[in-house]
């Protein structure tokens, strides 16, 4: 045979494959979500997320020091609220002494350079497990936005670097930006969950925070997974309203959306490799059906290749260890 072009030339050794690799994961690609609990020395494995824990703040602070030493530059905080603090206003969400606010302060105090991102949504504080205030069975938009604004400002006051509204109410990015400006928090960023789909892949997360919706589902605010153009509309609106970073969530079943969003905006794009995506790999690996380490690196590389500049993933630590191996 006489071939003008032999594509296998650039695949023949590990060295040449790495020379021409188009996508390279690095520790600073990752955001590690952390689940924080009240108490001391409390470490609870999430039943549907084997190998992943909800920790009290003392353990979390030690963990964040380790993460920084590994090269992980960002954590995304979620707290598990006590049942007696839950209501239908979400007011615990902006309590200056709430678990979230104490966590932000403790982490920034221990590792000032760590980029602390905070979840902004009412579900951990809601007796209904919904991301907003409920009236006559409906999740009301505008009153919820008022609550999210208070929540965001209180996170900024506690020292959060980036607030991350994950609720999908309309208009909240603009309202939060305006409030941050008015309160003089001009260094606080907003990572908007812009294209967050109503997904079954969030199931294990709701076990982690005991935040499953008490009635109905989240389809009146999170996006229909049948839709693509709507993701662009949502994302462009959030950028217009002042988002510094936009997000697509979940990740693996939405790689097309990540790519289209990446092509449509000039801000960094993040993707959230969610709890169900973690659980699938863990479960298959446990059965001996998948090589866990290979599945982790292939999944995260695919998400970056699709266009994600940042990846929120429960595998961040595992991935960094594998990249350094």
Ligand X SMILES: NCC(=O)CCC(=O)O
What are the start-end ranges of the H helices in 71-140?
99-110
Q: Quick check: is 249 catalytic?
A: yes
Eight-state DSSP code of residue 55? E
Q: Quick check: is 65 catalytic?
A: no
Torsion of CA 29, 160, 261, 169, to 10 degrees: 150
CB of 289 to Mg ion, least distance (A): 38
Binding mask 191-230 for Mg ion (x = CB under 5 A): ----------------------------------------
CB of 268 to Mg ion, least distance (A): 18
Query: Which residue in the set 30, 128, 205, 254 belongs to the binding site for ligand X (CB under 6 A)?
Result: 205
CA distance 35 to 262: 28
- Cα 242 to chain centroid distance, Å, stands at 19
Burial 25-46 (b: 16+ CB within 10 A, else e): bebebbbbbbbbbeeeeeeeeb
Q: Residues 73, 196, 304, 317: which is the catalytic one?
A: 196
Residue 118 binds which one of ligand X, Mg ion, none, with CB within 5 to 8 A depending on kind?
none
Nearer to ligand X, 154 or 275 (CB): 275
Residue 116 binds which one of Mg ion, ligand X, none, with CB within 5 to 8 A depending on kind?
none
CA distance 55 to 80: 10
Tracing tokens 């920034």 back to the chain, one arrives at 108
Q: Among the candidate windows 120-128, 181-189, 231-239, 277-285, which touches Mg ion by CB under 5 A?
A: 231-239
Q: Does 166 participate in binding ligand X (rule CB under 6 A)?
A: yes
Nearer to ligand X, 8 or 206 (CB): 206
Q: What are the angstrom distances between the C-alpha of 285 and each of 295, 296, 301?
A: 9, 11, 19
Residues 235-274 touching ligand X, rule: CB under 6 A, are: 274
- Other Cβ atoms less than 10 A from the Cβ of 93: the count is 27
Nearest residue (beta carbon) to Mg ion:
234
Parallel, antiparallel, or unpaired: how do β-strands 310-313 and 269-273 relate? parallel
Q: Kindly state the tokens that stand for 204.
A: 């294990």
Query: Which residue in the set 37, 234, 260, 318 belongs to the binding site for Mg ion (CB under 5 A)?
Result: 234
Binding mask 34-63 for ligand X (x = CB under 6 A): ------------------------------
Site residues (vs ligand X, CB under 6 A): 119, 121, 166, 202, 205, 274-275
The catalytic residue positions are: 196, 249
């Amino acid at each position: 045979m006489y071939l003008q072009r032999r594509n296998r030339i650039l695949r023949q050794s590990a060295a040449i494959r790495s020379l021409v690799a188009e996508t390279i994961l690095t520790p600073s690609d990752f955001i590690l979500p952390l689940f924080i609990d009240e108490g001391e020395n409390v470490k609870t494995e999430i039943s549907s997320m084997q190998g992943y824990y909800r920790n009290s703040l003392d353990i979390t602070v030690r963990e964040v020091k380790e993460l920084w030493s590994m090269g992980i530059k960002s954590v995304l905080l979620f707290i598990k609220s006590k049942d007696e603090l839950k209501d239908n206003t979400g007011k615990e969400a902006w309590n200056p002494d709430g678990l979230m606010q104490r966590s932000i302060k403790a982490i920034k105090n221990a590792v000032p350079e760590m980029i602390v991102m905070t979840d902004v949504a009412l579900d951990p504080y809601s007796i209904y497990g919904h991301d907003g205030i409920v009236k006559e069975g409906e999740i009301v938009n505008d009153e919820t936005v008022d609550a999210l604004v208070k929540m965001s400002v209180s996170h900024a006051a506690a020292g959060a670097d980036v607030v991350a509204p994950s609720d999908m109410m309309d208009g909240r990015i603009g309202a939060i930006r305006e409030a941050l400006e008015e309160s003089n928090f001009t260094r606080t960023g907003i990572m908007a969950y812009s294209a967050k789909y109503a997904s079954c892949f969030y199931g294990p997360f709701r076990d982690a925070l005991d935040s499953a919706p008490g009635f109905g589902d989240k389809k009146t605010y999170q996006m229909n997974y049948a839709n693509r153009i709507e993701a662009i509309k949502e994302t462009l609106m959030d950028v217009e309203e002042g988002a510094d970073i936009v997000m697509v969530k979940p990740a693996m079943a939405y790689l097309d959306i990540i790519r289209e969003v990446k092509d449509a905006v000039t801000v960094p794009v993040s993707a959230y490799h969610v709890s169900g995506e973690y659980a699938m790999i863990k479960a298959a690996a446990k059965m001996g059906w998948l090589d866990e380490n290979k599945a982790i690196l292939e999944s995260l590389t695919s998400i970056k290749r699709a266009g994600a500049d940042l990846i929120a993933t429960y595998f961040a630590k595992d991935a960094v260890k594998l990249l350094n191996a």
